[in-house]
Amino acid sequence: MANRSVFAAELSWPDYHAAVKNGETAILIPLGSMEQHGHHMPMHVDVLLPTEFARRVAGQIDGLVAPAFTYGYKSQQKCGGGNHIPGTTSLDGATLVNALRDVIKEFARHGNRQFAIINGHYENSWFITEAVDLALRELRWDGIASVKVVVLSYWDFVAAETIEKLYPDGFPGWAVEHGGVLETSLMLALYPDLVQLDRAVDHPPAVFPPYDVYPVKPEWTPPSGTLSSPKQASREKGEILLKVCADGISLALKNELNTAPSATRVAAAR
């Protein structure tokens, strides 16, 4: 019996080839980072979360999940605490662009024509755009013009009404949500054994001036590494976020890609 895993790397090559050779199977590529997430969470949060969203969505659209990118672009002080904090391990922008470009082209060589990049690390955003642009251009040079790529970040599917439920005392803004309620709640719902909420540092949202300085000024970043307090995080909030984001991503990909759910793979993804 063929392996029905939604993770491409878990398939044998004949099973993988059978699934992708017609170009109709969407390939979901999670992009994360190794970045500090405060005293209470591990440094691969940005890998775990997009990979889980990709897994859930793949079962709904008959897609396959590619191995995740575990390193991302350099943490920026105003949205990730800064690349100066121990443990954060990053790539130069050109390295990330070239690696993602190559991976897209390789999957296209296998016959894949539909892709979704599931981003879990804000700083990756513009480098994803560059990688996709270069990959599509080079594929056109090779006579392959039918490739389509959807690029998204899971937090963009959190609508205003959900934000009101999660932040009854006011929303600090996505820029300072690093290691805060959103990521901590998702981790409590998915990987509670990796969260030590008793070690979370409660502090007001970080405040930055309207400019950047390089080298960074470490004193701008709260000592905890988080940019807002995770103390109001909960498993219940995480469950809300899981459904809202997974449903939103699934609908977006069904709208944009030529996908049809498969009963066998949906069952395997559960």
Please give the Cα distance from 156 to 147 (Å, whole number).
24
Please give the Cα distance from 225 to 65 (Å, whole number).
31
Catalytic residue among 10, 24, 46, 52: 46
Q: Is 121 a catalytic residue?
A: yes
Catalytic residue among 10, 123, 203, 219: 123
Q: Is 35 a catalytic residue?
A: yes
Catalytic residue among 35, 52, 62, 177: 35
Question: Which of 175, 190, 266 has the alpha carbon at shortest distance from 221?
Answer: 175
* Paired tokens of 161: 């009404």
The crossing angle, in degrees rounded to 10, of helices 181-190 and 45-61 is 60
Reduced to 3 states (helix: H, G, I; strand: E, B; else coil), residue 50 is helix
| Other Cβ atoms within 10 Å of 232 Cβ, number | 17
Q: Is 84 a catalytic residue?
A: no
Catalytic residue among 44, 52, 121, 177: 121
Q: Is 203 a catalytic residue?
A: no
Rg for the chain, CA atoms, rounded: 19
Q: Is 40 a catalytic residue?
A: no
Sign of torsion, CA 125 160 44 82? positive
Q: Is 161 a catalytic residue?
A: no
Q: Is 164 a catalytic residue?
A: no
Side-chain-side CA neighbours of 30 within 13 Å: the count stands at 28
Catalytic residue among 52, 62, 177, 183: 183
Helix, strand, coil percentages (3-state) for the chain, rounded to 5, are 50, 10, 40
Catalytic site positions? 35, 37, 46, 121, 123, 178, 183
